[in-house]
C-alpha cells in the first residue's frame, strides 16, 4: 500500500510496533518515516497534522485471535477506538478502517452485501464488528470513518503471509507436490489480492467525502467468491505435477460466506482491481519456485503470524500481553 500512496502523491508516515520486521519475503518494504509504537500506547501528538489515518494494525488472523481472545479484543477493538478518538481530537478528517468480511462469519451460500447481518465465529471477527460499531458512533461533520471489509487476502508481498488460503495451498503444492486442504473444501470464501486491497484504500482516501462518510464497503470483485476446493483445483492446474489431498479428519470450516462487492465498484469507480485467483496462483507459484519455498519456510515463523508472535513470547522479547520487553 505504501508505494501506491506515494505514487498517488501522498506524504506517508507509519506507526507500528513492528512485530513482523524479521519476516520479509524478498526485498524489504518501502521505507517511510515511522513512529515505533504500540497502538495501545498511541498519543494525540502522534496523529497531529495528518489529514487521514489508514488503520491497518491488528492481530491479523483467526489462529492468532484464538491464542488469547482478550488480547485480540484489546488490540483490534479497544485500541482501534483509542486511535480513532485521538485522531478525531487531533483534527484528522478521514479514518479508513481495515475491517474484514470475517464479520459475516457463518452465513452460508447466499450473497451478502454491506447491509447483511453479522455472524462472526471467531474473536478476530467479533473484534472487527465491535470496532466498526463504535467507529460509526464517532462519525461527525469533521470526522469520517470509512469501513473497508476486505475479503481474504492473497498474493506476493514484502511481508508475505502463508497462513491465508490461496497462499497456503500454493505453498504446499510447490514444496510438496500436494495441494493440502485442511477442511472438507466446501466453505465459501471471497478472496482479493493484497495489491487490490491497497487500490481500494487509495480510492477511498481520495474519494469525495459524501461518497464514503460513515460507509462500509466489501473489498473484492463480485466474481471472486470460491469454495475452498475450487481454489485447490486452480492451484492444481497451475502448479505442474501436483495433486489435491485432504488432511486427515478434515471437517467443514465454520467460516462460510460469499460477498457482494458491487457497491465499491459502483460508488468508487477509481477502484480498479486487477487480479483474479488464477492470476494470483500463477504469481505465487513463480515466486515460491524462485525462492525454493520449503515446508519449514511457510510453516515456520516468518510467514505465519501465530508463529512469529509465539517466537517473540518464547524468546522473552515480548510479554504475554504482547508488549516489548527488549529489542
Query: Is 178 contained in some domain?
Result: yes
Query: Is 326 contained in some domain?
Result: no
Determine the angle formed by the axes of helices 79-89 and 123-137, rounding to 10 degrees.
Answer: 20
Q: Which residues contact 86 (CB under 8 A, 6 or more apart)?
A: 42, 43, 44, 46, 47
Q: Is the whole-model pTM more than 0.85? A: yes
Total domains in the fold of the chain: 1
> What would the mean pLDDT of 150-167 be, rounded to a whole number?
96
Q: How far apart are CA 299 and CA 24, in angstroms?
A: 15
Residue 66: name the closest of 302, 313, 306 by CA.
306
Q: What's 91's domain CATH number?
A: 3.40.50.720
Residue 154: name the closest of 165, 169, 139, 138 by CA.
165
Query: Is 319 contained in some domain?
Result: no
b/e string for 144-165 if b means 16 or more Cβ within 10 A?
bbbbbbbbbbbbbbeebbbbbb
Whether 276 shows a pLDDT value over 90: the answer reads yes
Residue 269: name the closest of 325, 215, 199 by CA.
199
8 Å CB contact between 221 and 273:
yes
Q: How far apart are the first and last CA of the chain?
A: 26
Q: What pLDDT sits at residue 327?
A: 64
Q: DSSP for 161-174?
A: -SSSHHHHHHHHHH
pLDDT band at 62 (very low <50, low <70, confident <90, very high): low
C-alpha cell at 223: 466474481
8 Å CB contact between 167 and 154:
yes
C-alpha cell at 87: 485522531
Per residue in 190-245, pLDDT (tens digit) is 999 999 999 999 999 999 999 999 999 999 999 999 999 999 999 999 999 999 99
Query: Is 325 contained in some domain?
Result: no
Domain of residue 192: give its range.
2-314
Query: Is 320 contained in some domain?
Result: no
Residue 242: name the closest of 275, 297, 285, 213 by CA.
285
Count CB atoms within 10 A of the CB of residue 89.
12
Q: What pLDDT sits at residue 183?
A: 85
State what percent of residues in the chain have pLDDT above 70.
98
3-state DSSP assignment of residue 67: helix
Per residue in 102-132, pLDDT (tens digit) is 999 988 889 999 999 999 999 999 999 999 9
Q: Which of 28-32, 47-51, 311-315 has the lowest mean pLDDT?
A: 28-32
Amino acid at each position: 500500500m505504501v508505494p501506491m500512496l506515494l505514487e498517488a502523491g501522498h506524504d506517508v508516515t507509519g506507526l507500528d510496533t513492528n512485530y513482523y520486521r524479521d519476516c520479509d519475503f524478498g526485498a524489504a518494504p518501502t521505507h517511510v518515516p515511522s513512529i515505533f509504537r504500540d497502538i495501545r500506547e498511541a498519543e494525540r501528538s502522534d496523529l497531529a497534522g495528518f489529514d487521514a489515518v489508514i488503520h491497518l494494525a491488528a492481530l491479523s488472523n483467526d489462529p492468532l485471535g484464538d491464542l488469547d481472545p482478550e488480547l485480540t479484543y484489546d488490540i483490534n477493538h479497544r485500541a482501534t477506538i483509542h486511535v480513532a478518538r485521538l485522531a478525531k481530537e487531533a483534527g484528522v478528517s478521514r479514518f479508513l478502517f481495515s475491517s474484514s468480511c470475517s464479520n459475516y462469519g457463518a452465513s452460508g451460500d447466499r450473497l451478502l452485501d454491506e447491509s447483511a447481518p453479522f455472524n462472526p465465529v471467531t474473536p478476530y471477527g467479533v473484534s472487527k464488528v465491535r470496532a466498526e460499531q463504535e467507529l460509526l458512533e464517532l462519525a461527525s461533520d469533521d470526522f469520517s470513518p470509512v469501513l473497508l471489509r476486505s475479503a481474504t487476502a492473497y498474493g506476493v508481498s514484502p511481508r508475505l503471509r502463508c497462513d491465508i488460503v490461496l497462499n497456503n495451498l500454493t505453498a504446499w503444492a510447490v514444496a510438496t507436490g500436494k495441494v493440502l486442504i485442511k477442511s472438507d473444501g466446501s466453505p465459501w470464501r471471497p478472496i482479493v489480492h493484497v495489491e487490490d486491497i491497497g487500490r481500494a484504500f487509495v480510492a477511498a482516501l481520495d474519494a469525495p467525502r459524501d461518497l464514503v462518510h460513515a460507509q462500509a464497503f466489501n473489498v473484492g470483485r463480485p466474481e471472486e467468491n470460491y469454495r475452498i476446493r475450487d481454489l485447490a483445483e486452480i492451484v492444481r492446474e497451475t502448479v505442474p505435477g501436483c495433486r489435491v489431498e485432504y488432511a486427515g479428519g478434515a471437517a467443514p470450516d465454520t467460516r462460510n460466506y460469499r460477498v457482494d462487492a458491487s457497491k465499491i465498484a459502483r460508488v468508487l469507480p477509481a477502484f480498479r482491481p486487477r487480479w483474479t485467483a488464477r492470476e494470483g496462483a500463477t504469481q505465487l507459484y513463480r515466486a515460491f519456485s524462485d525462492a525454493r519455498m520449503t515446508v519449514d519456510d511457510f510453516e515456520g515463523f516468518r510467514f505465519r503470524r501465530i508463529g512469529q508472535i509465539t517466537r517473540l513470547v518464547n524468546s522473552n522479547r515480548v510479554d504475554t500481553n504482547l508488549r516489548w520487553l527488549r529489542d
